[in-house]
């Protein structure tokens, strides 16, 4: 396998020499995902082969996809943001309270979600980009702040009964051409939720943003090397600031999608999602040191992470703790792979 | 506080504010100022906060009780963690955010050992010292794992320890097969409560012991010097014959030992464990203690006594907030604000600006408290 990648890598080197790491890591991710899924289909029975089962990975992780995309952008600029899970949780709770106790509607929910995200992004982005504070410390504080605020808003879980909201929540978008027959022989079309459509739209938009816009290229330049980006005339501080704003804004959107999926505000919502987002990004080939990464890779990272979680669960390790240990092990494995890739590159 | 170092430059230029400036330049200025402000606030709001009385505990022994005793008692884990965290911060320029999770692992291991695998045990099934020693070995191993990722794979400390942060509590649950063992042996709880006949909580003694040990280690070995030089510049310390990777690894192992001691104190307070709630958010407090102690979070020079003082200040703040009935789940929000204020104040850009404004530092410190 490494030989094949090397050839692929060499072939593309002629076209885009600066992006070779991105392509190498993206290839690893896509290959890992397909191997995992094929393994699951072949050895773990037919349930993995049903289209709906695959689409359920998307249904359950629409918010995670959005969070991971935001995380990738921040990581490409060389930063990190671990407040995204907390922001998601806070957005869920505030939206639920707004809908249930303050007579809000769908419009206010969207406004609140994006507003909270924007507020976190502006503060964190300012502190990181303009005051030069380590992003980890700031976003750690942001995470604790968001979680503390969630319990201040409401300690009890808030279930939403708003009809307009539930109608959107239960809307199913059927996917043409996919479906399966149940035991009675009825044809059941495969569906995705509204959130998945939004998440996929975000993935496509961000992919284009990173690949073809000036701002997107600036993210890579800043992450690759601050000083040379500065010499190229890129405003480094502004770029970093925008990356953090974008990430937190996406965390706000992720919060709305999470809320749309679970339909309640709860202190335990999105617990550990910052970890899942970071792990997805890293598995997707985003380098922690910045400058390397790809939104498509992140998307496959989310899929790989959740596929392996399901595989571990269906192998009989279905206790709750195995899920966390699996994520941590995947994270560790890919961190080490990255580190080796970097060390090898530095030695050349 | 020690006498301030005289700075001739400021004395010449601005003789009227030299004392104030000299004070604010002290590393311990922020924790001491925060402590003084907290004490003043409590004195004015409710002087009975400082009352210490003798009460009978559940075993019928006379013991000291009062808010001040509880500050000293409850800060024990944090102080011990802050010592290790200071060394890790100094050597690697990052913090270990897995301490809460590894404390839970230590607790889980020790409980499993003393309960002998049963769910409830009335007497200890294993020598307590052996059980604690095994706990120390286990967390030292996890410390070495973190340290190896940081030192040998060049992964940012906070991301490397994110792995254990995620997996730690799950591993702790796994060790005991997700059961919640309870030990009812009185002797097990000596370390977390009171020794018979002694009215002062035992964790205070353990903390003093740990502080003395680290004082001796730093005084009679080169650990402190090596740690600082690795933190300031790993390459030049390598050229001077220090192995920076080994020193980094060593600081993480030391933190692992501290974590085990803290984890043991925490579980011996109750004799039981809750995997998701045990030592929750303590990593935040430990980092805060290091920052409050005037240590640069980016590594290099460190002052372990500043961190210890910082840890006590944080516990003081926590106890004060509890007294005014702030729910424990909301505490992180308040502390996060304090952390942000602290790191903003210590940011180089802000420091430069503050230096040009006369009274600004005093105002900002008031906000912190």
- Decide if B6 is inside a domain: no
The CATH code of the domain that includes A216 is 1.10.3470
- Decide if A15 is inside a domain: no
As to burial, measured by CB atoms within 10 angstroms (0-12 exposed, 13-18 middle, 19+ buried), residue B298 is: middle
> Residue B159 in contact with residue B93, Cβ under 8 Å?
no
pLDDT(B274) > 90? no
Closest CA to B116 of B20, B8, B34, B188: B188
pLDDT(B212) > 60? yes
> Residue B160 in contact with residue A332, Cβ under 8 Å?
no
Tokens representing B246? 């080994």
Q: Residues with Cβ < 8 Å from B19, sequence gap 6 or more?
A: B4
Average pLDDT, integer, range B72-101:
91
Is B364 touching A (CB cutoff 8 A)?
no
Residues B246 and B366 reside in one and the same domain: no
Measure in Å the smallest separation between the Cα of B156 and chain A Cα atoms: 8
Give the E-state strand segments of A105-201 in sequence order: 158-159, 172-181, 187-193
Higher model confidence: residue B341 or residue A65?
Answer: A65
The CATH code of the domain that includes B101 is 1.10.3470
pLDDT(A1) > 70? no
CB contact under 8 A, A278 and B173: no
Cα(B271)–Cα(B188) distance, rounded to whole angstroms? Answer: 7
Residue whose token pair is 């030695």: A347
Residue A190, CB half-sphere, CA atoms under 13 Å: how many? 17
Is B347 touching A (CB cutoff 8 A)?
yes
pLDDT(A4) > 80? no
pLDDT category at B7 given cuts 50, 70, 90 is: very low
| Segment holding A117, helix H or strand E | helix A106-129
For B354, other C-beta atoms within 10 Å of its C-beta total 17
CB contact under 8 A, B333 and A144: yes
CB contact under 8 A, A321 and B170: yes
Give me the domain span that covers residue B267.
62-324
> Residue B100 in contact with residue B164, Cβ under 8 Å?
no
pLDDT(A317) > 80? no
Residues B77 and B211 reside in one and the same domain: yes
pLDDT category at B12 given cuts 50, 70, 90 is: very low
Is B178 touching A (CB cutoff 8 A)?
yes
Measure in Å the smallest separation between the Cα of B281 and chain A Cα atoms: 8
Cα(B35)–Cα(B40) distance, rounded to whole angstroms? Answer: 9
Residue B167's closest chain A neighbor by CA?
A325
Structural domain total, chain B: 2
Tokens representing B185? 């042996």
Cα(B304)–Cα(B82) distance, rounded to whole angstroms? Answer: 8
What is residue B22's predicted lDDT score, i.e. its pLDDT?
A: 65
Tokens representing B201? 């909580």
Which residues sit opposite B55 in a β-bridge? Answer: B63
Residues B315 and B330 reside in one and the same domain: no
CB contact under 8 A, B164 and A328: yes
CB contact under 8 A, B166 and A331: yes
- Decide if A4 is inside a domain: no
Residues B211 and B349 reside in one and the same domain: no
| Helix A236-262 × helix A51-76 angle, to 10° | 160
Give chain A positions within 8 Å (CB) of B245. none
Pairing of strands A187-193, A264-265: unpaired
- Decide if B48 is inside a domain: no
Structural domain total, chain A: 1
Tokens representing A161? 């009964």
Give me the domain span that covers residue A303.
20-31+56-173+190-347
Average pLDDT, integer, range B254-283:
88
Higher model confidence: residue B38 or residue A66?
Answer: A66
Tokens representing A220? 């890579």
Cα(A206)–Cα(B92) distance, rounded to whole angstroms? Answer: 34
Which of B324, B339, B358 delimits the end of a domain? B324
Give chain B positions within 8 Å (CB) of A138. 340, 343
| Helix B304-323 × helix B67-74 angle, to 10° | 130
CB contact under 8 A, B287 and A320: no
Cα(A94)–Cα(A168) distance, rounded to whole angstroms? Answer: 18
CB contact under 8 A, A144 and B287: no
**SS3 category, B166:** helix
Residues B82 and B138 reside in one and the same domain: yes
Give chain A positions within 8 Å (CB) of B165. 275
pLDDT(B262) > 90? yes
**Average pLDDT over chain B, rounded to whole?**
83
**Chain B contact probe: residue of A82, A83, A87, A133 with most B CBs at under 10 A:** A133
Residues B124 and B236 reside in one and the same domain: yes
Closest CA to A281 of A209, A331, A337: A331
Residues B251 and B350 reside in one and the same domain: no
CB contact under 8 A, B340 and A149: no
Residues B304 and B341 reside in one and the same domain: no
What is residue B156's predicted lDDT score, i.e. its pLDDT?
A: 83
Among B224-238, B250-264, B317-331, which is the least confidently predicted range? B317-331
Please give the share of chain A, as a percent, with pLDDT higher than 90: 24
Give chain A positions within 8 Å (CB) of B164. 328
Cα(A25)–Cα(A28) distance, rounded to whole angstroms? Answer: 5
Residues B99 and B141 reside in one and the same domain: yes
Residue B165's closest chain A neighbor by CA?
A328
Which residues sit opposite A158 in a β-bridge? Answer: A265
pLDDT(A245) > 70? yes
Tokens representing B205? 């003694």
> Residue B99 in contact with residue B283, Cβ under 8 Å?
yes
The DSSP call for residue A16 is -
Residue B282's closest chain A neighbor by CA?
A144
- Decide if A9 is inside a domain: no
Residues B343 and B206 reside in one and the same domain: no
- Decide if B3 is inside a domain: no
pLDDT(A6) > 70? no
CB contact under 8 A, B149 and A332: yes
């Amino acid at each position: 396998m490494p030989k094949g990648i090397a050839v692929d890598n060499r072939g593309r080197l002629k076209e885009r020499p600066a992006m070779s790491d991105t392509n190498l890591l993206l290839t690893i991710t896509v290959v890992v995902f397909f191997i995992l899924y094929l393994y699951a289909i072949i050895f773990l029975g037919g349930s993995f082969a049903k289209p709906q089962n695959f689409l359920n990975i998307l249904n359950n992780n629409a918010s995670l996809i959005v969070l991971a995309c935001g995380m990738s952008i921040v990581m490409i600029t060389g930063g990190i943001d671990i407040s995204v899970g907390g922001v998601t949780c806070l957005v869920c709770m505030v939206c639920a309270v707004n809908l249930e106790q303050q007579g809000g509607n769908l419009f206010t929910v969207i406004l609140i979600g994006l507003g909270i995200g924007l507020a976190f992004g502006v503060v964190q982005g300012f502190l990181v980009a303009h005051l030069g504070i380590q992003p980890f410390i700031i976003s750690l504080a942001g995470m604790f702040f968001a979680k503390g605020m969630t319990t201040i808003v409401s300690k009890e879980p808030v279930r939403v009964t708003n009809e307009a909201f539930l109608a959107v929540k239960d809307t199913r978008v059927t996917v043409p051409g996919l479906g399966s027959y149940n035991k009675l022989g009825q044809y059941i079309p495969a569906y995705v939720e509204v959130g998945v459509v939004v998440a996929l739209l975000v993935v496509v938009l961000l992919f284009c943003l990173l690949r073809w816009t000036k701002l997107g290229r600036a993210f890579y330049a800043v992450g690759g090397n601050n000083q040379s980006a500065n010499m190229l005339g890129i405003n480094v501080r502004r770029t970093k600031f925008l990356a953090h704003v974008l990430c937190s804004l996406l965390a706000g959107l992720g919060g709305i999608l999470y809320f749309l999926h679970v339909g309640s505000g709860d202190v335990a919502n999105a617990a550990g999602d910052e970890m899942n987002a970071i792990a997805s990004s890293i598995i997707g080939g985003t380098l922690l040191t910045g400058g390397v990464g790809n939104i498509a890779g992140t998307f496959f990272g989310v899929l790989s992470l959740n596929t392996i979680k399901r595989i571990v669960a269906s192998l009989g390790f279905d206790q709750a703790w195995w899920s966390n240990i699996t994520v941590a092990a995947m994270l560790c494995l890919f961190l080490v792979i990255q580190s080796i890739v970097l060390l090898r590159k530095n030695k050349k | 506080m020690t006498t301030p170092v005289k700075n001739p430059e400021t004395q010449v230029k601005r003789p009227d504010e030299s004392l104030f400036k000299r004070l604010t330049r002290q590393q311990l200025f922020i924790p001491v100022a925060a402590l003084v402000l907290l004490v003043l606030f409590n004195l004015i709001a409710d002087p009975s906060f400082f009352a210490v009385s003798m009460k009978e505990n559940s075993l019928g022994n006379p013991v000291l009780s009062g808010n001040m005793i509880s500050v000293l008692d409850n800060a024990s884990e944090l102080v011990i963690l802050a010592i290790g965290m200071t060394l890790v911060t100094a050597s690697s320029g990052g913090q270990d955010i897995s301490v809460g999770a590894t404390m839970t692992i230590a607790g889980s291991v020790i409980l499993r050992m003393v309960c002998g695998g049963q769910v409830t045990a009335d007497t200890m099934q294993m020598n307590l010292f052996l059980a604690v020693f095994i706990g120390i070995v286990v967390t030292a191993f996890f410390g070495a794992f973190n340290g190896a990722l940081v030192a040998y794979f060049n992964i940012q400390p906070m991301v490397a320890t994110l792995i254990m942060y995620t997996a730690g509590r799950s591993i702790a649950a796994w060790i005991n097969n997700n059961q919640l063992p309870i030990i009812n042996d009185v002797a097990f709880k000596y370390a977390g409560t009171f020794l018979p006949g002694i009215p002062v909580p035992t964790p205070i003694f353990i903390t003093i012991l740990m502080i003395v040990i680290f004082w001796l280690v730093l005084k009679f070995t080169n650990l402190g010097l090596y740690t600082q030089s690795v933190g300031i510049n790993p390459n030049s310390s390598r050229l001077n014959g220090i192995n920076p990777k080994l020193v980094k690894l060593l600081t993480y192992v030391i933190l692992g030992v501290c974590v085990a001691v803290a984890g043991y104190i925490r579980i011996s307070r109750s004799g039981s464990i809750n995997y998701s709630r045990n030592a929750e958010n303590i990593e935040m407090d430990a980092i805060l203690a290091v920052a409050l102690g005037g240590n640069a979070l980016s590594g290099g020079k460190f002052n372990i006594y500043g961190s210890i003082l910082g840890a006590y200040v944080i516990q003081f703040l926590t106890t004060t907030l509890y007294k005014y009935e702030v729910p424990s789940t909301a505490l992180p929000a308040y502390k996060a604000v304090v952390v942000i204020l602290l790191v903003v104040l210590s940011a180089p850009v802000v420091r430069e600006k503050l230096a040009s404004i006369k009274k600004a530092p005093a105002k900002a410190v008031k906000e912190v408290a």
